Every structure is written in structure tokens, then in C-alpha cells.
Amino acid sequence: MRQTGKSIIAIMTLIAVLCCAFISCTAAAEEAAVLHLEAEDGAFFGNIKAKHSSGTGWVEGFRSAGDSFQLLLTIEKDGSYDISVILASMDGSHKENPVILDGKSVGKAVTDSKSFGPSTLKYVYLTAGKHTLGIDTEWGWVKVDAIELTPSAPLPEDLYQVEPVLCNPTPSPEAQRLFNWLCECYGKKVITGQFCDGGMYGMENQAIWRATGGSYPAILGLDMMDYSPSRVANGTSGTSVRLAIDYWEKGGIVTFCWHWNAPEPYLQSDRWYSGFYTQYTSFNLAKALDGSDPAGYELLLRDIDAIAEELKVLRDAGVPVLWRPLHEASGGWFWWGASGAEAYKQLWNLIYDRLCNQHNLNNLIWIWNGQSAEWYPGDDTVDIIGEDIYPGERVYSSQSAKFIECLDYTDARKMIILSENGCVPDAELLFRDGTVWGSFCTWGGEFVLKNSKFNAPSEQYTEVWLLKKVYADERVVTRADIPDLKGNGN
């Protein structure tokens, strides 16, 4: 028995040693999987220059468009990789600059610190073979030390399992049917969309129709801008509500943003029509909300109530609305984002409460488009997370890194959409990468048209062959593919 016991101990010891060896080998293999590239080993363009030698220095000189550097790398295996840019801000303020893979933007390298640290784009797909990778200039004024690549972790198995429960506890039947269908499509289909001020037969929609051989986008994007009281006071007259009703009646879906023109007393008189931009208004949201500017607060309520009346017309016509107020807040270029995250979230909750509870607008599906986790107002007032992405010209990639970033905004499973886009994404790449935006909605004007006078499709941002390919894909939803959401079959 003693000998047997010693044998067992010996065997267990051997197993432990082998396990340790296996763990060490695994760790070594994982460590070996990291591809580390020193920035100063790249090719420099414009004002870029290296500081110190390879391995101990960095590159700087990001001042204006064209200032960039580029590294060569070889990938051994097709797959998704996390790209970490080790960088620092020259002055310690917030900076964002494009990460360029094979000549196309795949996301932004972001920093808020004077100390070097990683900014990581997760789940970027690379094919086996040679690639170029580098940083271009947008905000500029950064130092870049290195770039590292590691294989991405598997995507969550429940990624597209969104429960069809709206934040409004008593949604209209139409809103609930629409949201049920959106949840059914999520991860399986991509829903097309187009902003078009002219509505159903506006020039952008005509351009799409011509380019695709007869298809219309499923979603029509419109704006509440001209219903803002300060614009009405200057003579504007909105038509978007009527156009939205027409599109719904033809079987389409409507989404609204609101370029909220600040109240009249706070506008720069010669640019009153640009009063949604921070630079053209003196309106201070924080002061209006903390009691320092009571007149400003009352004007906030007046404006919200004015928009509520327009939304009621849609509600009474049975039109559900993909509602996206206070968009792109974290950028700060709109006044509702200029006072910081806390004031913004307070305004978001004020709008939600006033529209839902005071005005009984139960036809709204709430799209939050703050674009930063710090600005997320909470799961109980958000139905869908929207991101606006303008990666440049003819960039058809999935923008998977931003999609993955959205997962960190909340622990809940929320649908993620491209609420605005410059280039139409290639559906084939969305499904290849496993990051399937629920919908896209291309911005109007130059992103679709050659000019403002003709409805010919422009190819500056999206080529006609790509439009045809996307709209013909069986996994892509056009207006003709939308089922009856009015309940007429019930």
C-alpha cells in the first residue's frame, strides 16, 4: 500500500508538472501571438518625424491632413484582431486620429493623456498576407510609440439576443410591432435607410432607385429642425411630418433626428439658421438646468412641447418613429453636448419624461446617439444604440471596432445600428466579421448625389456597383421587403 501510495504521488506530481508546462507553453504561445510594431520603423509622410531610436522613441508631427506614418506587417492567418495604438496627447487634451489599414479607416485612436497608453480597436478583420497599418491626422497633436496586434476574443454567443421590450411601458401597437420585427431581424438582416429631406420621391431616394434598378430604402431619415420655434420665428415651415406619414403609408419606416435650433435670445443673428451648433449660440445648457438661467429653462420646455405637437400628429396617424434626439452629443459641436455629460443626461431624461409622461407619446422608439459610454443615460430610457460613422470615401468595411465598443456602453443587450453613415457598408463584410449593424441610414446631399440639382447618384462615397450589390443581397431589407406593420392582417 505504501509503494502504491508513492506511485500515485509520483504520477500526480508528473501530471502537475505537465500541466504547468502546458500552461507555460500556452502563455508563451499567446505572448508570441502579439505583433509589436515600433512606430519609428515606419514610413513617414508630411510633418511626421521620429524622436530617438527604434524601441525607445516615438513619432510626432501630426499637425494637418496628410501628416501620417505607415508600417508594413504580415498576418499569418485570416481572422479578427485587436489593434492597440500606444499613444499620448501632446497637451493632455482629448485627441482622435484615424487608424488606417490598407489605405482605409477602421476606427479612431483616442487619447486624453500626456502619458503613453493604449487605444484599442477590437475585432478588426485581417486576411492572411501583407498589410499596411498606420495613423493619419484628424485632430492631430499626438505622439505615437507603437502598434500591437493580438487575436480577438470570441464574440458573445448572445450578441443578437435582444428582448423586444420597449422602455415605454405602454407603447402603441404600431411601435411594438415595429420593434418586434426589428428584434427578429437583428443579426440576420441589415435594414437599409436613407436621409432624404424630399421624402419618398426626394432626390436621394430617386438616386438610390436609379442606381439599384428600382429599390427604395426601408427607412426614410428626416429632421425636426424646421419645427424648432426659433427657426419658425425666422420664417421656416416644416414638411417632414407629412412626408413621414406618406412613407409609412407606402410601407416604409421613418426615423427622425432633431437639429435643435437654440432659442431666439441666444442665437448669433447672422447665423440664426445654424443655431444648433455650439459656435453660433450663447445658450448654456448647464445654467438652464441648474437654475442660473430660469428663462433658458422655460424656453427648453417650450421647444420640447413644440416638437411634441408634431410627434402627436404622427402618433395620431398611427406612425411609429425611430426617435433620435440630442445626437452626437459627446463631440461637443452641438450645444446640447457643450456643457458635458451630466447636463446632457439630465436633458435627455427631461425630454424622455416630458414626451412620454406628459404628452403621452407612446409611438416613439428611443435611439440614443451620445457616442461615448460616459454619456449613456441608462437602460430605462434607451431602446437602441446608434453610432454615426463617416470613415472617408469608398470605405465599405464593417467598422467592427466601433460596433464592439458599443457593447461596453451598457451590460444590457441593446440593438446597435448605424444611425448615420457616409459610405454604405458592404453587407458581405458585416456578416463575415460577425458585427451586423441592425440598420444603416446614409446621410443625404453629397453622400448620394452628384450635386443638389440632379438625382444622379454620386460615386464619391459609395460606388454604384456597391449599391447594387448591397440592395440585391438577400440578407438586406429594402422597403419592398417590409412586412405589414400596421396590423391590417390581424
What gap in Å lies between CA 353 and CA 366, rounded to an integer?
12
Residue 66 has pLDDT above 70, yes or no: yes
**Helix spans in 317-396 (H):** 341-353
Residue 490 is predicted with a pLDDT of 52
60, 328, 387, 405: the catalytic one is 328
Q: Could you give the count of Cα atoms lying within 13 Å of 44 in the half-sphere of its Cβ?
A: 16
Q: State mean pLDDT over 394-410.
A: 96
Query: Active site residue: 204, 310, 420, 463, which one?
Result: 420
| Residue-level pLDDT at 34 | 83
Residue 28 has pLDDT above 60, yes or no: no
| Residue 149 reports pLDDT greater than 60 | yes
Query: Hey, how many other C-beta atoms are within 10 angstroms of the C-beta on 357?
Result: 10
Answer yes or no: is pLDDT of 381 > 60: yes
Active site residue 420: yes
480 phi-psi bin (left φ>0, alpha ψ -120 to 50, beta other)? alpha
Average pLDDT over residues 157-170: 97
pLDDT tens string 128-138: 999 999 999 99
188-213 average pLDDT score: 96
Confidence class for position 22, pLDDT limits 50, 70, 90: very low
Residue 33 has pLDDT above 70, yes or no: no
Is the four-CA dihedral 16, 21, 22, 28 of positive or negative sign?
positive
* Other C-beta atoms lying within 10 Å of the C-beta of residue 41: 14
Rounded to two decimals, what is the model's pTM?
A: 0.89
Q: How far apart are CA 286 and CA 253, in angstroms?
A: 35
pLDDT of residue 55: 63
What is the C-alpha separation between 49 and 230, in angstroms, rounded? 49
Enumerate residues 6+ apart whose C-beta is below 8 A from 280.
267, 268, 271, 274
DSSP characters over 143-165: EEEEEEEEEPPPPPTTTT-----
The answer, yes or no, to whether residue 314 has pLDDT greater than 70, is yes
Q: Which domains does the chain have, with CATH numbers?
A: 35-151 (2.60.120.260), 173-481 (3.20.20.80)
pLDDT in tens, 319-331: 999 999 999 999 9
Q: What single-letter amino acid sits at 483?
A: P
What's the pLDDT score for residue 456? 80
Query: What is the side-by-side order of every strand in the sheet holding 43-45?
Result: 43-45, 68-75, 129-135, 95-101, 104-111
Q: Looking at the predicted structure, is the pLDDT value of residue 352 above 70? A: yes
Provide the pLDDT for residue 385: 98
Tens digit of pLDDT for each residue in 102-123? 999 999 999 999 999 999 999 9
Look up 474 and say whether it is catalytic.
no
Q: Looking at the predicted structure, is the pLDDT value of residue 334 above 60? A: yes
pLDDT digits (tens, 9 = 90+) for 192-203: 999 999 999 999
Amino acid at 405: E
pLDDT recorded at residue 455: 75
Q: What is the mean pLDDT of residues 347-352?
A: 98
Task: Tell me what the mean pLDDT of segment 280-286 comes to.
Answer: 98
